Amino acid sequence: MFGNLFEEDEEEGLSSTSSKGRVSKVGEEPPPHRGRSNLCGIKNQGGTCYLNSLLQTLLFTPEFREELFRLGPEELGCLEDKDKPEAKVRVIPLELQRLFAHLLLVDQQSASTASLTDSFGWNSSEGTNQHDVQELNRILFSALEHSLVGTSGSAFIDRLYHGTIVNSIICKECGNVSQRQEDFLDLTVCVCGVCSLEEALWNMFVEEELFEGNNLYRCAQCDRLVTAAKSAKLRKLPPFMTMSLLRFSFDFAKLERYKETGRYSFPLTINLRPFCEQVDGDDSDYSYELFSVIIHKGGCYGGHYHVYIRDIDELGRWEPPEEERKPKTQKKGKEEVKEKPQLKLNGDDPLSIFTSIIAEESLKSVLLDQLGQKLMEKTGSSWNKKFKKQYGPIAKFLQSHSDVFLLVCNGTRVALKANLPSPEAEPCSPAELTTNCDPSTTPDPGASEHLGPNQKPEPEQGSHWFDLNDSTVMSIRESDIEKQFQGKESAYMLFYRKTQLHRPSEALNNPQYKVPSQLIQMAEEENIKLQKMREAFEASNNTVELCLHLAPYYRLENGALQSISKESNGYTALSFDRRKSVGDLRLAIYQMQELWEGDMALTVAKSLPAGLHLYNTLTDDNISLFSAGIQSSTHLFVWNGREVCGATVLIGAEWEPVLLTVVRPSFDDVEYEMEDGVECEDNREGFENGSPGLKREARGFAGGATLGEVREALGEPKESLLCQEHNGGKRREQGAGEGGGSSGWRVFPHDDMQRTLKELSLKDGDALLVLEPQSFDSSVFTLNGDVVTVTTPSDCRWLQVELHPPVTGGLVEQEEEIKKIKVPATGSMLLCEVKQRAIEELQLQDQTPGAQYCLRQTDCTGKLLPPVCEELSVRDAGVRLMTTLSLCLGNAPKASQLFLHFTMGAAPSAGMEIDIIVEKTCTVKECLKAMLDVVGLDGTCWHLRRLDWCEEVGEPLMDEDASLSELKISNGETLVVTEGRLPPKVLQCFQSDCRFMFLIVSFTFIPLFFPYQGFLKISVWLYVDPLNIQTDFNHSENGPALEKTMTAGKINSLFAGKGTELRSMGQVEISDEATLEELKTQILTLPALQDVCVPATGFMRVWQLEGGRPARILRGQQVTLRKLKLTSGMDLCVQQLLKEEDLGPKEVLLNVKMGIPGEKCYYPSEELVWDASHDSSPRCLRTCLAAHYGLSPDSLLLAKHQPDKHIWEEICSWTHVSKKKKKKKAESLLGAPFHLKDGDTVGIKNLLIDTNRNFITLEDEQGQQRLREQQEQRRKGGNAADSNSAGFQKNGGQTKTRKPEVALSISVGQFK
């Protein structure tokens, strides 16, 4: 009846469920345990909250549940045989049985209804469509009755819910009574105009309706029109009375639906005697008590269902609501403090403190994980700080005093042995669902005496209420029901049961009561399976990989531990459970090392550049690895705790070693290092430009060692000077090109000899120059004050030139012999002179006369870099002295030229790159022509593309008239010559004047043409505006046979202008399992869209249209169309972008435009992506816009444009108080009242220069005038507005396009 009117709230849909647990290393995280309430929720399939609420109500109707469980396999069949043609399996009641058993017995936070809805014959889209819960109640009962035909349970729905109403009409003249009986399973009562359920029932069954005046009644006995009175009475009362409240009505004046949100009260117990035909029975025959309230939150076009339920059989664990469990901050009066007995505490005795804490609790027990917090509140000091050193962990202390303390409730609470908590306050845990529980225990009668003045007494047995909201279950008080009398969140269906229906004592707190044995066994197997999954998950999540370093394989060297063996990694890998203790780990290592003798110490180590260093030793064998801070990949050093190979090891952060580079003068090794080629270069890189006058050596020293001790360890005399690099970064940068320059070192003063390396802020990699006094006799070292200047000697001013054979793909062939020669050079020497000297010494002019050579550098992988410009000097070209240059065949570029690589049609690969030299001022078109000339091609169907960061073919060079320098094409860059023309100017117009190209995509599902479900047939439309687009697309002759044209009348003014039209580009057929990326790719394959140039699918933005307006952007390239909830009838709009885009789930695309001061208009709008994932408040949006425009956030005034009503809604802060918890909710622009979404327009006013706070434009004023005229025409009964404004309603808004209303149905087989 109501179809899809009750869709989920948009705010509900935007909320994302995030896992609060740890991320699993392997496999999927198992479902969590039941919550504190010990009740199981039901998962929402997307829009099935109405189904979940009704199913929970039926589950907590014990008589319904037991009648269903009474039906065995001999009557219903087995689900395993449902696919057999000859078997008559009643699937719906069987699936309902399984679901109820799962909800009762399986230790899981929430159950799934997927199997049940499959038995209904619902497809995947039904799970996202929400229906009316009253309609579902009637259809589900009808489906059950049809499914149970021919069984002993065929009439149990009738026995529990069936009642009758008798309608009577009494003739006022002859007294003749005409009666008609009606059956009902639920009563629909009026809400409009009444304030309570009793008043509505009084109007239905007590008040009489008179037929008089023009509305007379024809009496069969009088045979004429007479005055009569009509009334109705309840003739038969069912055991369960269901009341449906007519919250949703239709306003015939405004022609729209609305929800009644006024106050409508209903009693917890009601006596129906005044409304019955027979009133001679006992009061118990007419008395009913409320046990379930289904609540609807939202409006008439969207909302959410949840249910309040009374736990009649006491299956759940009721606790005071969360706000009542929070500690009170207010101080108590002196009188109250005097009345409460105070125990004398010994502040140094934890036994007396814990005894006092537990005794003062009303439940006489304390949660184990809250005991430490209560101790801190009591004494002002934590357990770890005051008692742990003497008594160990709290759990160990409690175990050692087992004569005083007792762990109860599966080890989660601690109580005193002399005063145990009552079972009423602590029922069985979820893990004990399928084990025995004692339901006969009664609560402590004196428990209420311990309640404080602000605490409410706990409800009586069988009066516990819970709020079941899909997967969430919370305890509530009976008084919370009154909050659902009125408002947008209010009662929708009421369920009453007769007070004379009593439950047997064995049913209380016993979820297995009347459950068939095969379902109990199924639940036990499921619990075992879940337990194994959780254990495996916990084991995998708590397994840490440890790196064990054994002392016999290490020696102390240079202040750090070094591995004796250089071949192995030096450690042994060990997988261990971090929940186990340090003692368990020590025992495991003992078992691994059978030959270990003596003590074993485990010390946390860390691998540093200087070597392995030790920090803290694990001394407490009783604590777990987790408590000790041991994580995966932690390094542990196994030793005796004193020495390694006879050397004492200093541990701790203060002795952390530092790896220094010790630099000494060394002129004797110059020639040796020169002859060593590449080794010389690598050995000297970074120090004095590789000067051969300096020799380096890496040495490690303890961070706590003084500088004097370091000098001693180096074997230097006391008169030696130690120097530190002075402005090393600038020195290297300045001297990099010349090699014959100088650098400065700062001499450490004498006082620094007593300071440690840590105090001097020396760190790994720092250089330390060691000079003896005689070092200053040479010209290399000069002392000026406290600065030593090091001058590079002249004998290191050279460049090595290698003659390479022809290269392939930029890689040097190693098979042929490479000739090397050293050429004397300085920083000011031109590279052309270096090349000429190399050619002469290698005698290449005689071997290959007329050949052209160039000099090229190589990178660390041996790949040749672009040729250096020979017009520059060694210093200006950035070539360092004592490095190697390769002499290769080819021309060298000039200073005004670029050396480029290019390939044809694909990403570059070995041997496929072609080199070319072009001018920097050359345009893209000229460069392309030069490349085509090189390969011998011509024509215009080519364009150039760059490579992206992963060396794949990237974006095209769109502007063919731009120069290479303007496009920042650098030397050595690789371009790809790609076949095909660039997109025509019609697709590039949006780059300059902010117009966009849109493709309208409509979905049509045609099941007759496809043998498989889930196939979509998509029609692609191209939006064309002849006023703005001068060049049209050429339609292929092989395109669609039928050329379709659609006027843009139904497209919102945001897209369509005057004279616009939509042209059909063809159709694609695609599965709903295809991804969004595959959909984009298939659209681009249409013949009519061959001229559309899109480098990648990331350059396309796909909108979902609602009412011809873009409503949301489809996100996720690899998300399937089914998960994107694309169904038949939806329209999509594809927009081409200038750059790739990958929006996150909470990134909102807004059109923002700044108001022109003093005018009723705006500057052109801009697109802005607002990241609302962390903060979606107005302040965050204002800050984002302020950063975009470079203004102060406090000077901006924002407003959201509503094009339907031609008004602007100012965006400001607001306060929303939660109805239940009475606390402020975080402001979110994604929810009410603004509901910001993709494509919304946000106007901005800069209050510093614009004092006009009105956002209305001239177009808005004209639109409002049109709306007023339309409203006046409708009021006078005039004709409908013209076609350009036919979509607007009387309220001035555009008709919201909603999903088609689909009737709710449940498929049932034939059973006779």
As annotated, the active-site residues are: 49, 304
- Residue 288, number of CB atoms within 10 A of its CB: 25
75 exposure class (CB count in 10 Å sphere: 0-12, 13-18, 19+): middle
H/E element, 675: helix 670-675
Q: Tell me the β-bridge partners of 181.
A: 166
As given in the structure block, the two tokens for residue 91 are 């699937």
Question: Which residues does 510 contact at the CB level (< 8 Å), separation at least 6?
Answer: 313, 437, 439
**Rounded CA separation 668/692 (Å):** 9
- Whole-angstrom distance, CA of residue 278 vs CA of residue 234: 8
**DSSP assignment of 523-574:** HHHHHHHHHHHHHHHHHHHHEEEEEEEEGGGEEEETTEEEES-SSS-S-EEE
What are 898's strand-pairing partners?
918
Burial class (CB in 10 A: 0-12, 13-18, 19+), 1010: middle
Cα–Cα nearest to 971, from 922, 1059, 872, 899: 899
Q: For residue 82, give the 3-state DSSP assignment.
A: coil
- 314 — phi, psi (to 5°)? 55, 50
The first and second tokens of residue 1229, run together, are: 């622009």
CA dist 836 and 841 (Å) reads: 9
For residue 196, what are its two tokens?
């309570």
The C-alpha atoms of residue 186 and residue 189 are separated, in whole angstroms, by: 10
Distances (CA, A) of 182 to 187, 242, 890: 11, 16, 102
Q: What share of the chain is helix, strand, coil (3-state, %, to 5)?
A: 25, 30, 45
Sole residue written with tokens 């055991």: 239
CA R_g for the chain: 42
The number of angstroms, rounded, from the C-alpha of 1184 to the middle of its chain's C-alpha atoms is: 21
816: enclosing H helix or E strand = none
Q: Coil, strand, or helix at residue 299?
A: strand
Is 897 within 8 Å of 870 (Cβ atoms)? no
Separation between Cα atoms, residue 577 and residue 536, nearest integer Å: 12
Residue 953 is which amino acid?
A: V
Cβ(95)–Cβ(421) below 8 Å: no
Residue 1124 parent element (H or E): none
Separation of alpha carbons 767 and 1310, rounded Å: 90
**Could you give the CA distance from residue 907 to residue 893 in angstroms, rounded to a whole number?**
24
Which residues touch 351 (CB under 8 Å, ≥6 apart)?
A: 401, 404
Instruction: Name the residue type at position 694.
Output: L
Q: What is the DSSP string of 296-319?
A: EEEETTEEEEEEEEEETT--S---
Strand partners, 229: 170, 210
Query: Within a 13 Å sphere around the CA of 399, how many CA atoms are in the beta-carbon half?
Result: 6
- For 103, 321, 340, 450, 451, the CA distances from 445, given in Å and listed in that order, are 32, 22, 19, 11, 12
For residue 213, give both structure tokens. Answer: 């005046």
Concatenated DSSP letters of 444-475? -TTGGGG--TTPPPPPPTT-EEEEEETTEEEE
The residue assigned the tokens 């008089």 is 212
